[in-house]
């Protein structure tokens, strides 16, 4: 993806792309001109619907069943996307487990699950993608506003896992910068998705924690990802970007 102002001819992989921020990101990248692969774990029908919408935009789409908690599947999904499209230009590490709860309620199994998906899976996918990315390649990771401001109890495990991705992003920027590959992280705030609906039981309280007094949309996060994936962001790397309505202000 060398010196390209749009993404025509590029190939992207969005992990966890069957719904929410992942689906919005996959569709936005397709509208920008990229062929897009997505991963999913359970909802094959939703993943295939995203692929149909990608193809309706005139781009190639691919749905890959892959559990990021499985180290083999995390790596294999990257290989299959690159093999199918003949290249890989963008990796969006979107998949994540949002487990919240009191510290004394978290089991060892909870810790292992969250860290295996949110940290190990992201590391392995990034490591695998680096084998395929050329100059102009992008690694974009979805973090959380809770790495910058934890508004209350219950977020120790989730915040620990997402904070690790800040360090990973900065290290990847240094590791891969000489090859013309950038790495950045986007921190969404409260986003209206089926996992965290704005009209849900906690919606009003979350909206009140933002400066603008509302939830964001998945498309608003996707627009930031699209900027970082495009040619205008060649000099942007190792950076954190908040799309949180002022949650951390």
Express each pLDDT in 177-188 by its tens digit.
999 999 999 999
pLDDT in tens, 208-232: 999 999 999 999 999 999 999 999 9
| Beta-carbon contacts of residue 126 (< 8 Å; ≥ 6 apart) | 91, 93, 139, 141, 168, 172, 183
The whole domain housing 58 covers 11-243
pLDDT at position 3 over 70: no
User: Does residue 49 form part of some domain?
Assistant: yes
Among residues 44, 45, 47, the alpha carbon closest in space to that of 36 is found at 47
Supply the pLDDT for residue 5.
56
Q: How far apart (Å, rounded) are the C-alpha atoms in residues 180 and 169?
A: 15
- On whether the CB atoms of residues 216 and 189 are closer than 8 A, the answer is yes
Cα 88 from chain centre = 16
> What single string gives the DSSP state of each residue in the chain?
-TT-SS-TT-EEEETTTTSHHHHHHHHHHHHTT-EEEEEESS-HHHHHHHHHHHHHTTS-EEEEE--TTSHHHHHHHHHHHHHHHS---EEEE---------GGG--HHHHHHHHIIIIIIHHHHHHHHHTT--TT-EEEEE--GGGT---SSS-HHHHHHHHHHHHHHHHHHHHHGGGT-EEEEEEE-SB-SSSS-TTSTTHHHHHHTSSSSS-B-HHHHHHHHHHHHSGGGTT--S-EEEESTTTT-
pLDDT at 6 over 80: no
Q: What total number of domains does the chain contain? A: 1
In a domain, 6, yes or no: no
Domain containing residue 37: CATH number: 3.40.50.720
pLDDT recorded at residue 224? 98
Q: C-alpha 206: how far from its chain's center?
A: 21
Could you tell me the pLDDT band of residue 165, with boundaries at 50, 70 and 90?
Answer: very high
pLDDT band at 194 (very low <50, low <70, confident <90, very high): confident
Active site residues: 158
Count CB atoms within 10 A of the CB of residue 58. Answer: 9
Q: Inter-axis angle of helices 156-176 and 122-130, to 10 degrees?
A: 10
Q: Is residue 122 part of a domain?
A: yes
In-domain check, residue 75: yes
Q: Around Cβ 102, how many Cβ atoms within 10 Å?
A: 9
Residue 1 domain flag:
no
- C-alpha triplet 194, 18, 96: angle, nearest 5°: 75
Tell me, yes or no, whether 2 lies in a domain: no
Q: Answer whether residue 249 is part of any domain.
A: no
């Amino acid at each position: 993806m060398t010196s390209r102002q749009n993404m025509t001819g590029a190939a992207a992989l969005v992990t966890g792309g069957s719904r929410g921020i992942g689906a919005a990101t996959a569709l936005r990248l397709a509208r920008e001109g990229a062929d897009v692969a997505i991963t999913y774990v359970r909802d094959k029908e939703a993943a295939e619907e995203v692929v149909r919408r990608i193809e309706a935009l005139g781009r190639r789409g691919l749905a890959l069943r892959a559990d990021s908690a499985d180290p083999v599947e995390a790596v294999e999904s990257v290989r299959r996307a690159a093999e199918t499209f003949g290249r890989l230009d963008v990796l969006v590490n979107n998949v994540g487990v949002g487990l919240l709860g009191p510290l004394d309620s978290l089991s060892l199994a909870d810790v292992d699950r969250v860290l295996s998906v949110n940290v190990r899976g992201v590391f392995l996918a990034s490591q695998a993608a680096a084998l395929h990315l050329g100059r102009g390649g992008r690694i974009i990771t979805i973090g959380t506003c809770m790495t910058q401001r934890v508004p209350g109890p219950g977020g120790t495990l989730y915040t620990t896992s997402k904070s690790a991705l800040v360090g990973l992003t900065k290290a990847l920027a240094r590791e891969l910068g000489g090859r013309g590959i950038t790495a950045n992280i986007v921190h969404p705030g409260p986003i209206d998705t089926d996992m965290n609906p704005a009209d849900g039981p906690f919606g009003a309280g979350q909206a009140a924690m933002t400066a603008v007094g509302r939830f964001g949309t998945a498309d608003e996060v996707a627009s930031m990802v699209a900027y970082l994936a495009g040619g205008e962001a060649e000099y942007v790397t190792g950076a954190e970007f908040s799309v949180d309505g002022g949650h951390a202000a």
